[in-house]
Amino acid sequence: MSPAELRDRVAAFLAEHPPASTERSAFLHARYAAGLAWVHFPEGHGGLGVARGLQPMVEGLFAAAGAPDNNPRANGIGLGMVAPTLLGYASEEQRQRFLEPLWCGEEIWCQLFSEPGAGSDLAGLATRAVPDGDGWVVNGQKVWTSGAHNADFAILVARTDPDVPKHRGITYFLVDMHDPGVEVRPLRQITGEAEFNEVFLTDVRIPDAMRVGEVGDGWRVANGTLNNERVAIGGHAAPREGGMLGLVAASWREHPEQHTAELHDRLMRLYVEAEVARYTGQRLRQQLAVGQPGPAGSAMKLTFARLNQQLSGLDLEIRGEDGLRYESEPGWTMRRPEHVDFTGRDAVYRYLRAKGNSIEGGTSEILRNIVAERVLGLPAEPRVDKDVAWKEVPR
C-alpha cells in the first residue's frame, strides 16, 4: 500500500466516522477494526501489514482531524512493550483477547520483571511459579513496577525450574492485577511522588492459557520485551530541539543574565550530542521497520539517560536561583500519577526525575555490557554461574 492509498483510506474512515460526532470508544474500536491502529501490524490485529514508517503519517492525519487518541501516556508499557511482545510470541487466542482493548486504552498494563535480589541480574529472579492442575501458583515479590497502581494486567517472568541454569528455568506469563493475592504498595521517589511500586504475589493462580511461549523459554520472550522497552524509552521520535534539549534551549534564551562562556560551551556540546542521538534514533527506527529490535536499542537508551541527566542539570544552572523553586502544588506531597513524565512540570522536578533514567529500562552499567558484547563484539564479562543450576547459586 502506497502512502497515497493509505491517506485515502484514512480520509474514507474519517468521513464514515466523524470525530466530532462519534463516541470516543466507538471511534477507537472502529479504527482498530479498520487496520488503522498499528498500521504495520498484521490485518486482524489493528494493522494493514504496511511499512512501520507510515505510522507517523497516519497519526498526523488523525490528529489534524481532531480525532481522539488512546491516551498513550497512560499505557506506555502496554503500547511500547506488551503489544510487540504479544505479536511476536503470544498465541493467536491471546492476541485476539488482549491487543484490541490494550490499543483502545481500556486495559492498562505494567511489567513484573525486577525483584529486590534480581534487578541488573534479572535472570537470577526468585519468584516461583509451580504447576497446579491446569494452571500455576505464583509466589514472590517484584519491585520498581511503574504504573502498577493503575494496571489491569501485567507481564510476569517467574522461575518454573530451579534445577537448571538461571536463564533456562524461566517462564513468561500474563497476570490479572485484580486477582486475589496481588498486592501493590507505593514506593515514594525523590520527586515526592510514587509513580512506581513494589508488588507482592501470594498464592496467585494463573491459568496455563495465560502463559506466553513454552515453559522454560521465558528468557527469550523477556529479551524481546526488553529490547522493545529500550527502544520505547531511548529511540522515540523527537523534533529538532525536542524533549529536554528544547526546554534547556528555552531557558538559555529566557535568562540572558546567566550567560557565560562556560555555560554556552556546555550547551553547544550537549546540543550537538542530542542532534547526533536524534539522527541515530531515526536510523534505528528505520532498522525496526524491516525487522525486530536488537541490542542497538541499548545504546540509544544509554544515551538518552546520560543526556537527560546532563541537560536537566545544566537547566538548573542556567536558571540560577529560579531553578531551585519546586512547584508549590503538589511539591513533595505524596501523589500517584497516572503516567511517567520525563520532561514535564518545573526544572527541579525534571532534574530529580532524570536520576531514574539510568536505572529504568536496564541500568546504564548493564547496557554498557550489552553494547560492548553484542554490538561491538568485545569479549564477554566472566560469568561463573552460567552453567550452574539456579538453586545452587549463592544468594
Q: Confirm whether 113 is domain-assigned.
A: no
Q: Confirm whether 197 is domain-assigned.
A: no
Confidence of residue 26 (pLDDT cuts 50, 70, 90): very high
Q: Which of 48, 69, 90 is the last residue of a domain?
A: 69
Residue 288 has pLDDT above 80, yes or no: no
Q: Confirm whether 350 is domain-assigned.
A: yes
What DSSP letter does each residue of 95-132 carry, written as one string? Answer: HHHHHHHHHTTSS-EEEE--BTTBSSSGGG---EEEEE
Determine contact, residues 154/196, Cβ cutoff 8 Å: no
Q: Which residue has the cell 540509544?
A: 300
Q: Quote the mean pLDDT of the chain.
A: 90
Is 229 in the active site? Answer: yes
Q: What angle do CA 57, 311, 284 make, to 5 degrees?
A: 35
* Cα–Cα distance measured from residue 361 to residue 359, given in angstroms and rounded to the nearest whole number: 7
Q: What is the pLDDT of residue 57?
A: 94
Confidence of residue 268 (pLDDT cuts 50, 70, 90): very high
**Grid cell listed for 351:** 532534574
Q: Of all helices (H) and strands (E), which one includes residue 4?
A: helix 3-16
Q: Confirm whether 62 is domain-assigned.
A: yes
Q: Confirm whether 196 is domain-assigned.
A: no
Average pLDDT of span 271-289: 79
The CA-atom distances, in angstroms, between 112 and each of 72, 224, 229, 364 are: 20, 15, 13, 20
Q: Of all helices (H) and strands (E), which one includes residue 87?
A: helix 83-89
Q: Which residue has the cell 546532563?
A: 310
Residue 293 has pLDDT above 60, yes or no: no
- What HEC string does 207-219 produce? EHHHEECCCCEHH
Q: Which of 22, 40, 69 is the last residue of a domain?
A: 69
* Cα–Cα distance measured from residue 53 to residue 297, given in angstroms and rounded to the nearest whole number: 17
CATH of the domain at 257: 1.20.140.10
Q: What angle do CA 195, 360, 342 make, to 5 degrees?
A: 60
Q: Confirm whether 88 is domain-assigned.
A: no
pLDDT in tens, 207-247: 999 999 999 999 999 988 987 765 655 555 567 777 899 99
What is the number of structural domains in the chain?
Answer: 2
* Cα–Cα distance measured from residue 196 to residue 158, given in angstroms and rounded to the nearest whole number: 20
Residue 374 has pLDDT above 60, yes or no: yes
Q: Which of 49, 69, 89 is the last residue of a domain?
A: 69
Residue 381 has pLDDT above 70, yes or no: yes
pLDDT in tens, 72-121: 988 989 998 999 999 999 999 999 999 999 999 999 999 999 999 888 88
Determine contact, residues 106/78, Cβ cutoff 8 Å: no
Q: How far is CA 302 from the centre of its chain?
A: 14
Q: Residue 2: which domain range? A: 1-69
Q: Confirm whether 43 is domain-assigned.
A: yes
Peptide bond into 180 cis (omega under 30): no
Determine contact, residues 58/36, Cβ cutoff 8 Å: yes
Residue 264 has pLDDT above 60, yes or no: yes
Share of the chain above pLDDT 70, in %: 93
Catalytic, out of 115, 229, 254, 257: 229
Q: Confirm whether 166 is domain-assigned.
A: no
